[in-house]
Structures are given as structure tokens and as C-alpha cells.
Amino acid sequence: MVYKTPFVNGIAYTTITTYSKSSFEETLTFYKSLLELNETTVLNDTTVMLANEVTFIIVKLIEDSSKCQNFQVYRKNLIDLRFDRDWRGLAVDSITFTVSSLSIMMQHLMNMNLPFQCSPSITAPTQIYTLDPVGNLIGMTGTKNAISTQLAPPKSPVSSALPSRSSSTRNLNKDLSSHLTTEGDYPSLPPNIDVSDKNKRCIAVMTSGGDAPGMNSNVRAIVRTIIFHNCKPFVVYEGYEGLLHGNIKEVLWEDVRDWNAMGGTLIGTARSPDFKRREGRIQGAHNLINFGIDALIVCGGDGSLTGADIFRSEWPDLIKELLDTNKITEEQYKRHQHLNICGTVGSIDNDMSSTDTTIGAYSALDRICEAVDYVEATAKSHSRAFVIEVMGRNCGWLALMTGISTAADYIFIPETPASSETWREEMCDTVSKHRARNKRTTMVVVAEGAIADDLKPITASDIHETLTKRLGLDTRITTLGHVQRGGSAVAYDRILANLQGVEAVNAVLESTPTSPSPIITVNENKINRKSLVESVRLTKSVAEAIKAKDFKKAMSLRETEFVEHLQNYLAMNRADHYEPKLPSENRLKIAIINIGAPAGGINSAVYSIATYCMSQGHKPYAIYNGWSGLSRHESIRSLKWHDILGWQSRGGSELGTNRDTPSSTDMGMIAYYFQKYQFDGLVLIGGFEAFVSLEQLERARDTFPAFRIPMVLIPATLSNNVPGTEYSLGSDTAMNALMKYCDAVKQSAASTRGRVFVIEVQGGNSGYLATTVSLAVGAQASYVPEEGISLEQLSQDIETIGQSFEKAQGRERFGKIILKTGNASKALGAANLARVIQAESGGKFDAKFAIPGHIQQGGLPSPIDRTKATRYAIRAIGFIEDSQSIICGSRTGDEEFMAYDKKISATASVLGVKGSRITFTSIRKLYDQETDLPNRMPKTIHWEGTRAIADHLVGRKTVGVNGT
């Protein structure tokens, strides 16, 4: 026989115990021939090691005639059942090897005259099983994820012949304390985990359908949360195909280490036509029961989640059939009466109803925007037109959000099909108007599922031909394809996947036999549980409505955020090219100002405000260089469409920004210029200084009538410390910049071995950035100003890190990082903290420090900050329009102006996200009641719960805030 030496995936070696000299010799011969183990080492008279380059088998002899006879009977019973029962559900011990050719292996087994089974069939096997001379089940597979695990206890009639013995395979059910000390308080791992408890819940996770960035983070969070709840985690390799063929493995805490930074799905995914048939689902149920699994969490799209719910609904009938056909015992039947199912949505198309976004969607959008930004540069050089084709079969989310993020000239999406008769004229009209205003580039984004109203596809080639022939543009097509799926997940998807993974496990553990299967969603800034069945039904209804040409219904079934984004894009794309929407008497003069440090998305907000104002008929004015620029230099200029081209995707602040407030410059001069230009509204974009500025202007209304106009603040700061909101523009851009920096530093630490890096994070007195990035990159610890750095906690963290490095024993990808907000400790900067950790490590590891500095503020804004900036900007203009009637006429100096009237006071507000809602909250209420002014922070820390999750997903033990 000639075949590539097989290798073992999951075990370094295994020990086979025999009980007679004859079986000892037979076993040696068996493994030498089967696995081509040529190197023989005699360890002593009763122990021999067989090996090749990658596989080690130790064969031991313990003479015991009684056990020898029992195992002979046991093996014979298995052989007798080879045509009636699946050995995988009967054998005590199983070892699975990966081989390069199953057909050659099958022929070799025939030549050796060995009994074997094939799964799913002898004609197209994915796995082959045989028995060694002492009854161990030996599996061969061609898949990349071989498993080695202890299967379920054997069932009658084999069990009657089974003596008591210890497992001959490496035990994968290890106590977690071998990896981390587990004593202490939440959120450390639970103490004294008894992995031998047969009544412990067994929960499996699988990824299915198309892969999406962030799936690995989701699996990691699910596995570690299962362990945290003192349950057993399993992973199903290769999706439903793996479930069908029993490709299931119990995993440990360390098995999912560093999965946050990896793209795709490490446990594999595959389409499974066989699972759509009842016979396939019966086999899947049998495999789950064999492993003792009673709950399944599925990360995938609507098809995958539909299959999961069908599986659950059929479960009672499936297990009854397994019992009636003697494939499971009465005890197993009683124990597995119910299967709990929970879904987390992983899909780059973002096509699942009831959730704002799915795992992987923003990562795909990030790839697209990066590519379009690159293409824009070359297009501008040659004054070209580009047609960008993006994914999206029945959902135009990617195309729509790309259109907003890059200010594309035109988009095609399936939910709102263009007229089959006029789409060419309409597109050419818009492009011509843009070109007439000296725009050198043309970008048209088309979803792969784009159609006309007669359901005929609109392809990139159709668009290319139209732009070339009708407008004479030098046009190119760029099809991004699977680039959109690839690469590591962005910070948002990592965080979302982790939070949803934790919630999914909680949902499974809290589910009852009668409760409907949940799906974990996110709405605005809040994680929710919703009905899986209803969500899938609504999702499928969109495709059905499109097929039926009921496009109005298709749009109504999309989330309100999707509809709002589409309306925003259409309004901004009109700009000053068409007749304004509002009559002349309702048109306003609106001022825009940037205040504070630069933050990603500031320019996007200014661009969106200006273009939306133009489409409405308002006149946007830019105040350059903050309050000092206004009071000293009258730096005001009305914005024209051509002046702001490209701002949507530009970093920094094109208007200029600083930390001056009205009171620190000249309040009187500011009021004078407000009066001179007759502003009807003001939009402030910035951080805490902008918050303070709004309060000062609102308080000055008594003295200066020019400030008696609607004013609204759009929070924009990486610190995310503005009262009244849970999200500020720029924080996502900063998270991504810092995450990439941490990934690179962590890689360096892992390459060096035995090293931890202390990374100093910006944020002032807010630990938001350090906490969220800690969750995204799996930092061992994060120190924030809200908690400080206690000696007790620092000592505990050093001890835990030391234990981790000891257990690692030089394994790859074992770098550690610690994040520290600059103001977490005045005494311990990053350099000093690293020196303390180094000194206290006892030589177990070394510590270095790194300071990314203003890298966290710079770079291009993320797609999240671009699209949210657009949404908030247009909401802000709507607020100013709606508030005119409340405050109109009060700028005449009328003595009856009631500054503290609630309605009047509410015309100066902060736009914010709270839970699942966008809100406008009076600056007076926020400033007086909800602000910690000395620390420049809100009194309520909305992200506090995220710290506990970040800590428990790395097994960090906390000793209490400030050592209490």
C-alpha cells in the first residue's frame, strides 16, 4: 500500500492497553500496518512506542485473562452488528485520524481483511471506521477537522460484554483549572468544575451557510460562556453536513484562544442537501444524542436558522423513531425529550428582518468602502466612471450603505427596482448634473440582485454600456466578489458577535420546552431576543414580495433604519441639482461648527447636513476653526456642493476644530455674528467641549436673543463621554484603529513568546475605548479611570498571566496584552506599569509597553461612523425644522421669553442613542442632572456591563473596584 502518512488532529499521542501477550502482538502489527508506524521504541518489557513523524502510539500490556476475554466478546459483538448499527454510537473509545485518500485506505482495510463501516455510504464515504484488536474504534476521515473524543456509553447488547476500564484515548474532558486558577468572584471562571457530572448540560455550536467575519468571535464567546455556566461545550464541524456525519467535538477554554482576530469560520461551514430530508435529520438527532447534547446554537443566515427551527419542531418525532428502531435507549429517550435551539445571525448581506445588523455585515461594508476609496483615487486621475458590483441577492443593504458611505452618484438595489423603461435616462440625468458641476468621477454601485420593475436583472454590464454609449464616459467595472467576505472582522462585528454569543447561551439555559426558539438581535445599541420563526418568516416574505412585484410591501418589511437610510441617500443625492423640496418661506439658514478633538465621521456629518439642507432648500453655513475663528476672524462661509465633494469619506475636520468654548472666547461677538447672518438653527458636532458650548449658549439666551434658535449637538468623540448618548461619532473609527494596532502588537508578543504588552489608550476620564477594544481583541485586562488600578487587582492579574504562560508551554499564538486608559492612574503610566509587571512576574514572562497615541484619532472614518453621521445629521436638521414653531419670534428681545419653559428649553438638545431609540434630550436637563462636571463624564456608565463580559471571556478574576 502507498499513501501519505496520516496525522492526528487533536492529540499528540494515544495509549492502547492490551490484556494478553497475543493481543499485544496483534495490536502492534495492526497499528504498524494501518498507520505505517515504522519507528519502534521498546520502553520496557510491557510497553512499546510506535511512531512516525507526526503520530505516536504507545501499546501497553497488562495481563488479565478475565478482561481479555471480556474485550474479545465485546469486539465480536461489535463486528456482529456491523450491518445493523452505527459503531460510533456503540463504542466506548474512538480515535479519528485524517488521511489523504479514503479510497486507498478502504482498499488497504480490505487487503488486511479487517471489518469496517463507511459513512454516509460505501460509494461516497467521508469517514471510515474499523476496530483494533482490543475493540477501540479507529476512524479515518478526509476532512480537515479530525476529532478524537470519548463517545457515548455503549448500548445493549454490547454493554453486557463491556468490562469497566479507563479510556485509552487522551481525555479531552479536562478540568479547566489546569489552564487557569478558578477561585474568586465573578467574573472569574466558576470554582471546582466537576467535568465528570453526567447530568451537566451539553451545548453545541455550529456555523452554517455562507461564512461571515465575526463568526469565530461568536463561537469563542459561546464556548467560553458555556464553560462559565459549568456546562460542556461542543462544536459541530462543517455545519449541517458535520452534524449529519457526527463530526462533533468537545472543546476546551484554550481551544478557542485568539479566535477574535481570525476571519471566516474555523469550525467550517457547508451546504447540506441531505439534512433537508427527514432521514438526514434523524441521523443528526442520533449524533447529538450520542454526544449527550441537548441544546444547539446556530450562527448563520435565514436558511440555516430555518433548518434549525424545523429540526427542533420535529425533534419529538425524530427521537421516538430512534427509540422504536432501537438506535437509542429508553434512558436516552427520556433525557433528550427536548432540544433547545437559539440563533445568532451571521450574514454579510444583512438580510435578516428584526435586527439592525448581522454579524459580518459591517466587516463586508468596510472592505467595500476601502476598495471604493482606492478606486475613487484612480477614477479622479483619469476622470473615469466606475461600476462597483457588490453582494446582495435579495437585500440591497450593502449597496445602499456603500452609496451613503462613499457618496456614490447612483445605486441599484432589489427592494426599490428602477423602471425598466426609464432607469437609463434617470441615471444619466443624475450623472450628467454631477458632471456639469465639475465632478471628475462617477461611481455607480449595483447589488448583484438588482432588478428592474419587470424583474429583469440590471447588471454591471448594462450600466457600463449605458454610461459609455449615452454619456461617452470612460467606464470600468469592478466586481469585488468574495473579497467582501474575507479578512478579520472589524471591531463592531467582534463586539457584536461576543455580546450575542453570551446572550445566546443565556437564552438557551433559560429556555423551557414550550418557549419559542429565540434569535439574538441588535436594535440601535441594545441586544434583544426575538422569535426565530417570526424573524425568518419576515425575511422570506421580502423575497416573496419582490418576486410578486409588490415592492412597497418589500420595503415595509425591511427595518425602519433601512428605509430611513434609503430616504436619506435619495435626499442627499438631489442636493442642489433639483428643485428644493420646501417652499421659500420655510427655508432656513443653518450654521455648522466643529468643537473639540478630531473624530472620525465629523466630515461625513458636515457633508450630510449640507447636502440635505440643499435638497430641502435651506442654506448651510460653515463656521471655520471653532468659536475663536468666528469671534476673531468672522470665519463663516456658505457651503456649495462642489466645495464639499469627497468630505463624506475624509478623516480629520475640514472645518477645523479646537477646544475653545463661547465663554472662553467672546460670547458677545459670537452673538453679533449670529445676528448678522440671521441663523435659524445651529448644529454643533463634537465632544464634551461641544456639550459645554451648547449649555453656555442655551444659558445666554436671556441676554442674547440671537441664540434663541434651535440648537442641537451631534456627539463626536472617541471617548464617548458625552451625557445623553451611548454612542458618539468617531468611537468606532478609534476602536478599529486601536484594534488593528493591538492585533499587530499581540502578534509580536506571541512571536517573542512569554511577553505581555501594556498599551496606553486615549479616552480622558472615560474607559469606554479601553473596555470595548479589550472585548474585541481579547485583552487579558483593562484598567480604566472609573475603577483605577488597585494593588490587589494588579497583583491578581500578574498572577493569572503568569499561570497562563506556565500552562502555555511555548504554544503558538500566545501573546498577551493589557489595555490602560491614560487617566486610569496618575502614578502608573504605561512604561512604569510595564516595569512593575516585569518586576513582579517572577521571571515567568517579560513586559513591554506601547503607546499608539493619535493613531486612534486619525485615518479614514469607518463605514459605521460615516453612515451614522448621515443618519444623525438629517435627524438634527429635522429637529431644527420641527422646533421653529416653538421658538419662532423670540429673537426680537421680547421680555416674555421664558428661557426655562420646558418646550423652549428642549429646543437646545443633545441627539443621542439610548438603548434601542434615537432621542433628543434637553441640554439643561443633562447638564444639571446627569453630568459629572469635574470628571467630564455622564453620571451613569452605560457600558459597565461590557466590562464584566470582557473579563469573563478571558477568565480574568476581579477582586472588586479599588480593591474592595
Annotated binding residue 267: no
Residue 896 counted as an annotated binding residue: no
Residue 141 per-residue DSSP state: E
Known binding residue 856? Answer is yes
Q: How far is CA 919 from the centre of its chain?
A: 26
Q: Is 250 annotated as a binding residue?
A: no
Residues 6 or more apart whose CB falls under 8 angstroms from that of 518 comprise 342, 343, 507, 511, 529, 530, 531, 532
Q: What Å distances lie between residue 720 and 734, 767, 941, CA to CA?
A: 10, 9, 10
304 is in an annotated binding site: yes
Q: Is 863 exposed, middle or buried (0-12, 13-18, 19+ CB in 10 A)?
A: buried
Grid coordinates in use for 276? 433537508
Q: Is 521 annotated as a binding residue?
A: no
Q: How far apart are CA 796 and CA 556, in angstroms?
A: 53
Based on the residue annotation, tell me whether 349 is a catalytic residue of this protein.
yes
**825 annotated ligand binder:** no
CA distance 79 to 77: 5
Distance CA 649, CA 373 (A): 8
Cell numbers representing residue 329 in the block: 435507549
**Residue 563 annotated in ligand binding:** no
* 721 annotated to a ligand binding site: yes
Please give the span between the terminal C-alpha atoms of the chain, in angstroms, as a whole number: 68
- 3 state SS of 257: coil
For residue 863, whether the previous peptide bond is cis, meaning omega lies within 30 degrees of 0, is no
Confirm whether residue 384 is marked as ligand binding: yes
Strand 127-131 to 816-821 pairing = unpaired
Residue 803 known to bind ligand: no
* 797 in a labelled binding site: no
Q: How many whole angstroms separate alpha carbon 930 and alpha carbon 137?
A: 65
Question: In the 3-class helix/strand/coil scheme, how is 737-789 assigned residue by residue?
Answer: HHHHHHHHHHHHHHHHCCEEEEEEECCCCCCHHHHHHHHHHCCCEEECCCCCC
Instruction: Determine if residue 747 is labeled as part of a ligand binding site.
Output: no
For 807, the grid coordinates are 500552562
Q: Is 72 marked within a binding site?
A: no
Residue 681's H or E segment, with its range, is strand 681-686
Q: Which residue out of 349, 493, 680, 951 is catalytically annotated?
A: 349
Q: Is 717 annotated as a binding residue?
A: yes
Cα-based distances in Å from 305 to 11, 206, 353, 518, 539 = 33, 11, 12, 10, 11
Q: Is 764 annotated as a binding residue?
A: yes
Instruction: Match 424545523 to its residue by C-alpha cell.
Output: 310
Residue 809 counted as an annotated binding residue: no
Is 257 annotated in a binding site? The answer is no
How many other CB atoms are found less than 10 A from the CB of residue 179?
18
Q: Give me 426's grid cell.
A: 434617470
Strand partners, 386: 443, 476
Say if residue 448 carries a ligand binding annotation: yes
Chain-centroid distance of CA 769 in Å reads: 17
Grid coordinates standing for 587?
427655508
Is 272 flagged in the annotation as binding? yes
Q: Is 793 annotated as a binding residue?
A: no
The DSSP letter of residue 97 is: E
Separation of alpha carbons 398 and 450, rounded Å: 12
Q: Is 10 annotated as a binding residue?
A: no
Closest CA to 29 of 52, 50, 4, 7: 50
Q: d(Cα 783, Cα 775) in Å, to the nearest integer?
A: 13
482 is annotated as contributing to ligand binding: yes
Question: Could you tell me the three cell numbers for 123?
Answer: 460509494
608 is in an annotated binding site: no
For residues 680 and 621, what is the distance between their CA atoms, to the nearest angstrom? 11
Task: Determine whether the annotation assigns residue 372 to a binding site.
Answer: no
Q: Is 271 one of the annotated binding-site residues?
A: yes
**CA contacts within 13 A on the Cβ side of 748:** 15
Residue 440, annotated ligand binder? no
The annotation status of 656 as a binding-site residue, yes or no, is: no
Rg (CA), the chain: 32
| Distance of alpha carbon 503 from alpha carbon 673, whole angstroms | 52
- In 511-588, which residue ranges form alpha helices assigned H by DSSP? 532-547, 551-557, 560-574
Q: Which residues contact 142 (CB under 8 A, 6 or more apart)?
A: 98, 99, 100, 101, 102, 126
Beta-bridge partners for 137: 94, 131
Query: Is there a binding annotation on residue 887?
Result: no
C-alpha cell at position 191:
470554582
Residue 917 annotated as lining a ligand binding site: no
| CA distance linking residue 497 with residue 493, whole number of Å | 6
889 assigned ligand-binding residue = no
Q: Do the annotations mark residue 854 as ligand-binding?
A: yes
Q: Is 763 annotated as a binding residue?
A: yes
Residues in CB range of 294: below 8 A, 6 or more apart: 201, 202, 203, 288, 335, 336, 338, 339, 340
The answer to whether 301 is a known ligand-binding residue is yes
The number of residues making up the chain comes to 964
Annotated binding site for substrate: 347-349, 384, 391-393, 448, 476, 482-485
Annotated binding site for ATP: 210, 271-272, 301-304
Question: Catalytic site residues?
Answer: 349
Annotated binding site: 210, 271-272, 301-304, 347-349, 384, 391-393, 448, 476, 482-485, 659, 717-721, 755, 762-764, 848, 854-857, 936
Annotated binding site for Mg(2+): 302
Annotated binding site for beta-D-fructose 2,6-bisphosphate: 659, 717-721, 755, 762-764, 848, 854-857, 936
